[in-house]
Amino acid sequence: MTDISRIRNFSIVAHIDHGKSTLADRLIQATGTVSDREMKEQLLDSMDIERERGITIKAQTVRLEYRAKDGLDYVLNLIDTPGHVDFAYEVSRSMRAVEGSLLVVDASQGVEAQTLANVYQAIDAGHEIVPVLNKIDLPAAEPERVIEQIEDVIGIEAGDAIRISAKTGIGIGDVLEAIVTRLPHPHGRADAPLKAMLVDSWYDAYLGVVVLVRIIDGKLRKGERIRMMSTNALYPVDRIGVFRPGMQVVEELGPGELGFLTASIKQVRDTRVGDTITHERKGAVEPLPGFQPSIPVVFCGLFPVDASDFEALRDAIEKLQLNDASFSAEMETSAALGFGFRCGFLGLLHLEVIRDRLEREYNLDLITTAPSVVYHIYKTDGAMLELHNPADMPDVVRIDHIEEPRIKATILVPDEFLGDVLKLCQDRRGVQLDLTYAGSRAMVVYDLPLNEVVFDFYDRLKSVTKGYASFDYTVTGYQEDDLVKMQVLVNDEPVDALSTMVHRARAEARGRAMVEKLKELIPQHLFKIPIQAAIGGRIIARETISALRKDVTAKCYGGDATRKRKLLEKQKAGKKKMRQFGRVDIPQEAFINALKMDG
C-alpha cells in the first residue's frame, strides 16, 4: 500500500482540441509507464470513434510512477476526462474522485466556452488548479494575452502558468514537478470502515462488469464481500488492480488510491455511478455525499431501415447499454417506420456517437427521427404528463398548459460575428442574460428553449461564425410557453415520424419549410400527392406533387376528338382511384433530410 502523502490524484480539463489527450500521452511517456514500442497517439482514447473524431468520450484512468527532484517516488493517478458538454456527467463524477486539475489552455486560441464549464466544475469540487499553456511552439501563440484572459475570465491566478508543447514535449518535466509540489495529497484513514466511490463502470466480455473505484477511507482486498449502498446488493470481490494503462492485479487498495475491481457483476445498471461501496460487515453507515444520476435531455426514435434487422438492433442497443448507463431505450412502433426504439441521450453529440457506434460496430442501417425534448404537459384535471414523443400528445381540449425545458447557453465569439450570433439567438426565442468582453471576444449568455437548440443550432452557430464560436449549455428548468403539435400529412395520411412540437408563432414558417422540402424529396407517383402541414384540424401549409403523365392519346392519329377525350377521361378516373388506394412511398433519404431543417 502506498504512503498517502506520496499520492497525487488529478484530472486534465480543457476545451475540445486544446491538447488534453496529447498531454496525457506525454506524461505516460515521460514517466516510462509504457514502452516506446507500445506507445501510440491518444493512447487513452480506446474507441475507434474517439480516435476518428479526436474527442474523448469515456473518462479513462492511468497510474504513473514518478521519481521527483527531491529523490522521492510518487504515484500519480490521472483521469483523462471528456471535454464535450454532452459528457459533462462523466466529467463531474471524475472531478469528485481527484483533488486537483491541470487546466490546459491553447496558447493561440485562449479560453473557450467549455474550458469555463469544466473549470467551474473543478472549482465546485474544491480542486487546486494548475494552469498550463499548451502549443507555445506555434507562431500564433500569445502566452501573455492568454494568461491575462485566464485571470479576467476565470478569475484564477495564472502568472505562474506552465508553458509547454505537448506535441514536441517541451516543459513536460515542469508539469510533473508541479503535480507533485502544487497539488495536495488525498486525505483518508486506513483504519476507518471502507468507503469507496464508484467512479465509472464498463462491461468486459470475460470479466463481467469492471468497476473503477476511488478509495476514500479503509482498505479493499481480494476475496472480501462488498455492498453497494444505493441498491444494498452484495458481491464477492474477484480481483483488484490498477491501470498502467493495461490492467495490473494488486493485493489491496488503500486510502487515496484509484483502481478497479471485478465482482461477478452482470450488468452495468447494477453499478450506479457515484454510489458508495463498503464492506458487508462493519461497513460505513453514511454514504458519500449525493451524486445525481444522469438524466437524458434529448430523445429520438431509432428504426432499422430493413424491418428484419429489428432483433439485431435490439441486441446492439442492449450491448451498448451494458457500457453506457446514461443511454436509455424503450420499444416503440410507428405506422410509417415499423418497430424501433425511443432512445434518450444527454445531448446531440451523445446521440450522434451512439448512432455511429450502432451503425459501425453492429453493421446496422438506421433511420433517426427528429430529436425532441421532454415536455411537461399539465392536463385540466391537474395531472402532469411527461411527453417524449410528439405523436403521443393527448387531445388539446384536455390540456391546460405545456412547459418546455430551458437552458442557459454561454457563447464565446469574436467581435465581428457578434451581430449574427445575437440574431441567431433572437430567432430561436432566446432571452439575453449577459454580454461581457474578454479581450477581443464577446461572451454572451442566453436563456434559450432546449427544443430550438436541439435541432441544428450548433451547425448554424458554426456557419455564421465561420467556426470561431464556442458553445456550452446547462439545463436550467421548465417554463410555460405557447406550444403546439404540428403534423405532416402526405396524401391525407399523417406521418407520425415527422410530427414536431413548435411554438405557435413559428408554426407557419416551420410548416411551409417542411412541405417545400418534402416536395423536392418525395418522387412523383402516377397520381398527384398533396403534402400538408396541420395544427389540429387547421392546414397551415400545402404543396402538391404533380402526377407522372403517360400520354394515352399517342396512338390516335387523326379521326374523332371524342375518342381522345374518352381515353383522357378513363385515365383521369384511374388516377382518382389510384389516389384513393395508392400508397405513397417516402424514401428513407426524404425522412432524414426533411428532419434536417435549415434557417
| 207 vs 54: CA distance, rounded Å | 29
Phi, psi of 285 (to 5 degrees): -90, -45
Reduced to 3 states (helix: H, G, I; strand: E, B; else coil), residue 476 is strand
| SS3 (DSSP) at 247 | strand
118 falls in which pLDDT band (50, 70, 90)?
A: confident
> Annotation-wise, does 566 bind a ligand?
no
Q: Determine if residue 308 is labeled as part of a ligand binding site.
A: no
Q: For the residues 298-313, what does the mean pLDDT come to?
A: 85
Over the stretch 148-157, which tens digit does the pLDDT of each residue have?
A: 888 887 778 8
Task: Calculate mean pLDDT across residues 518-538.
Answer: 83
Measured between alpha carbons, how far is 28 from 40 in angstroms, rounded to an integer?
11
Contacts with 27 (C-beta within 8 Å, 6 or more apart), sequence order: 64, 76, 78, 172, 175, 176
Q: Is there a binding annotation on residue 18?
A: yes
Share of the chain above pLDDT 70, in %: 85
Residue located via cell numbers 472480501: 224
Asked if residue 365 has pLDDT above 60, the reply is yes
Candidate CATH numbers 3.30.230.10, 3.30.420.10, 3.30.2020.30, 3.40.50.300; the one for domain 4-182: 3.40.50.300
The residues spanned by each domain of the chain are 4-182, 195-279, 298-369, 389-481, 485-595
- Of residues 40 and 223, the one with the higher pLDDT is 223
Task: Supply 503's cell numbers.
Answer: 411554438
In whole angstroms, what is the distance from residue 389 CA to residue 335 CA? 14
Is 134 marked as a binding-site residue?
Answer: yes
What whole-number percentage of the chain has pLDDT above 90? 0
What is the structure's pLDDT at 191?
84
Q: Which residue has the cell 442574460?
A: 433
Buried b (16+ CB within 10 A) or exposed e, 30-47: ebebbeeeeeeebbbbeb
> Binding site annotation covers 17?
yes
Q: 19 among the known binding-site residues?
A: yes
Do 298-369 and 195-279 have the same topology in CATH? no
77 assigned to a ligand binding site: no
Read off the DSSP letter of residue 498: G
In sequence order, which residues have a C-beta less than 8 Å from that of residue 186 and are 6 or more positions away?
4, 7, 9, 99, 255, 256
Residue found under cell 469555463 = 116
561 phi, psi to nearest 5 deg: -70, -25
- CATH class given for the domain over 485-595: alpha beta
Question: How many whole angstroms separate alpha carbon 175 and alpha carbon 104?
Answer: 11
The per-residue pLDDT for 325 is 66
Q: What is each CA distance from 517 to 26, 412, 485, 542, 590, in whole angstroms?
A: 50, 33, 19, 11, 9
Range from 42-51, 186-195, 550-559 that averages highest in pLDDT:
186-195
- Residue 554 Cα distances to 78, 115, 320, 550, angstroms: 79, 71, 60, 9
554-593 pLDDT tens trace: 677 777 778 788 888 887 777 776 666 666 667 666 666 6
pLDDT in tens, 60-110: 678 888 888 888 888 888 876 655 555 556 566 677 788 888 888 888 887
CA gap 68, 173 in Å, rounded: 9
155: exposed, middle or buried (Cβ count in 10 Å: 0-12, 13-18, 19+):
exposed
What is the total residue count of the chain? 599
Give the strand pairing for 239-244 and 258-262.
antiparallel
CATH class of 389-481: alpha beta
Cell output for 522: 418525395
Q: Phi/psi of residue 111, each to 5°? A: -75, 130
Predicted pLDDT of residue 192: 84
* Alpha carbon distance 52, 47 (integer Å): 9
The upper half-sphere exposure of residue 555, i.e. CA atoms within 13 Å in the direction of its Cβ, equals 5
The answer to whether the beta carbons of residues 102 and 175 sit under 8 Å apart is yes
CA distance 61 to 67: 20
Name the pLDDT band for 370 (thresholds 50, 70, 90).
Answer: confident
What pLDDT, on a 0 to 100 scale, did the predictor assign at position 54?
44
Confidence of residue 247 (pLDDT cuts 50, 70, 90): confident
Name the residue type at position 370.
Answer: A
CATH topology of domain 298-369: Alpha-Beta Plaits (3.30.70)
| 567: exposed, middle or buried (Cβ count in 10 Å: 0-12, 13-18, 19+) | middle
Tell me, what DSSP letter sits at residue 561?
H
Give yes or no for residue 389 having a pLDDT over 50.
yes
> 382 a known binding residue?
no
42: left (phi over 0), alpha (psi -120 to 50) or beta: left
> Could you give the CA distance from residue 504 to residue 506 in angstroms, rounded to a whole number?
5
> Which of the residue ranges 279-288, 344-353, 368-377, 479-488 has the most confident prediction, judged by mean pLDDT?
479-488
| DSSP-assigned letter for residue 23 | H
Q: Which three cell numbers, joined as nine digits, stand for 58?
A: 469515456
Distances from the Cα of 405 to the Cαs of 92, 376, 490, 563, in angstroms?
Answer: 21, 8, 30, 65
Q: Mapping DSSP to helix (H, G, I), strand (E, B) and coil, where does residue 316 land?
A: helix
- Give me the phi and psi of 347, to 5 degrees please: 170, 180
Q: Is the pLDDT of residue 286 over 50?
A: yes
| Residue 323 pLDDT grade (very low, low, confident, very high; cuts 50, 70, 90) | low
Instruction: Provide CATH code, domain 195-279.
Output: 2.40.30.10
- Of 69-73, 288-292, 332-336, the range with the lowest mean pLDDT is 288-292
pLDDT given for residue 44 in this prediction: 46
Q: Find the range with the poorest average confidence among 79-83, 145-149, 366-370.
A: 79-83
DSSP string for residues in 407-418: EEEEEEEEGGGH
Amino acid in position 237: V
pLDDT at 46: 44
Lookup result for grid cell 431509432: 302
Query: In whole angstroms, how far apart are CA 453 and each of 77, 118, 531, 538, 597?
Result: 37, 21, 27, 27, 12
User: Do 89 and 416 meet the contact criterion of CB atoms below 8 Å apart?
Assistant: no
pLDDT of residue 293: 63
Give the Cα separation of 596 and 599 in Å (integer). Answer: 10
Residue 291's nearest CA partner among 61, 91, 101 is 91
Q: What is the pTM of this model?
A: 0.66
The three grid cell numbers given for residue 266, joined into one nine-digit string:
452482470
